[in-house]
Amino acid sequence: MGICGDVFLIDWEYAAMSHPYHTLASMASIERWSDKQMWQILAHYTPDPNQEDKECLYLYRVVSDLFWAAWCHVQMENPSTNSPYTEWRDLFLEAAKERIEILESKNWRVIFDEL
């Protein structure tokens, strides 16, 4: 229970003992957040995020998009589900591809100043 009597529920289904930005990036990936939305949640999580914080979150977002694309691909093999895993896989792959292309096309440390 929080200081003001608020109750917080935490979903540990995909939580892991890893960098905290990995979890934020996974949330951003699943919810299809824009980079601007990622920076907003980062600012709530870490007051005054620095360049390294942004770089770390951005790179974890690429990893998360690739992870969820692979997860959806595996789920496509399960005919008992009636979910659009092919569509979701393609969305995650496209998101990762776009971010990787940005990293490859520029000095990747400069892109965070533009966001």
Structural domain boundaries, residue 92: 20-114
pLDDT of residue 7: 74
Task: Classify residue 105: in a domain, yes or no.
Answer: yes
Task: Classify residue 11: in a domain, yes or no.
Answer: no
Query: How large a percentage of the chain has pLDDT more than 70?
Result: 82
Instruction: Domain count for the chain, please give it.
Output: 1
Name the one residue in this structure whose structure tokens are 């979903």. Answer: 11
Query: How large a percentage of the chain has pLDDT more than 90?
Result: 53
Helices assigned H by DSSP within 1-115: 20-31, 35-45, 51-76, 85-105, 111-114
For the chain, the C-alpha Rg in angstroms (whole number) is: 16
pLDDT in tens, 70-114: 999 999 887 777 789 999 999 999 999 999 988 888 766 555 555
Give the pTM.
0.79
